[in-house]
Amino acid sequence: MENNEKKINLVNRAVEINNDRIKGYKKAIEIAGDANLRELQVLFQQYIEQSRQFIIELSPCLEQFGQEPTEDSNFTGKIFRIWMDIKSAISPSISQAILESCEKGEDEFKETYKEILSDSLDDYQELTGILQQQLATQLEAHQHIKELRDL
């Protein structure tokens, strides 16, 4: 049973960081909307959908134990969204500030996934495969945000 609990906790950590990513991008859409940055809003919505899809892909790993994906998010994600508000309010370039904040969120996602992969590599091959694919997809999003920030 302990092994099942470990797997549930690992999957829920992945779901939580996706929940944070969704909430972070919702906040970014709100700020971008206030600044009339429509292209960024569209991009951020795509990343919200990407994280929702990741959660759907992770769900069977929980359902086999009669569990539902957590709706929780991390405390650090909440602090981060407050910081995004403050930073965009005082920054001379709102789009730059939003993209920098989104990149920090993507960094947090990447690090969390790497930790989960490290913890699951030996015991949960099917979970590891899902996480590796999701991380590869997320790294593309991360790179795109970084490129936009550097323009």
**pLDDT tens, residue by residue, 16-29:** 999 999 999 999 99
C-alpha torsion sign, points 112, 59, 26, 132: positive
The 8 Å CB, 24+ separation contacts for 66-70 are: 67/8, 67/12, 69/11, 69/12, 69/15, 70/12, 70/15, 70/16, 70/19
Residue 128 corresponds to which tokens in the numbers above? 């590891």
Is the full-model pTM beyond 0.85? Answer: yes
Q: What is the structure's pLDDT at 75?
A: 56
Work out the burial of residue 17: count CB atoms within 10 Å of its CB; fewer than 13 is exposed, 13-18 middle, 19 or more buried: buried
Query: Region 113-122: what's the mean pLDDT?
Result: 92
Query: Could you tell me if 18 and 55 are in contact, meaning their C-beta atoms sit under 8 angstroms apart?
Result: yes
For the chain, what are the domain ranges? 2-149
Which CATH superfamily hosts domain 2-149?
Ferritin, core subunit, four-helix bundle (1.20.1260.10)
**Which of 8-12, 91-95, 129-133 has the lowest average pLDDT?**
91-95
Say how far apart CA 147 and CA 151 lie, in whole Å.
7
Give the model confidence (pLDDT) of 58-92 as tens digits. 999 999 999 998 887 765 656 556 666 666 666 66
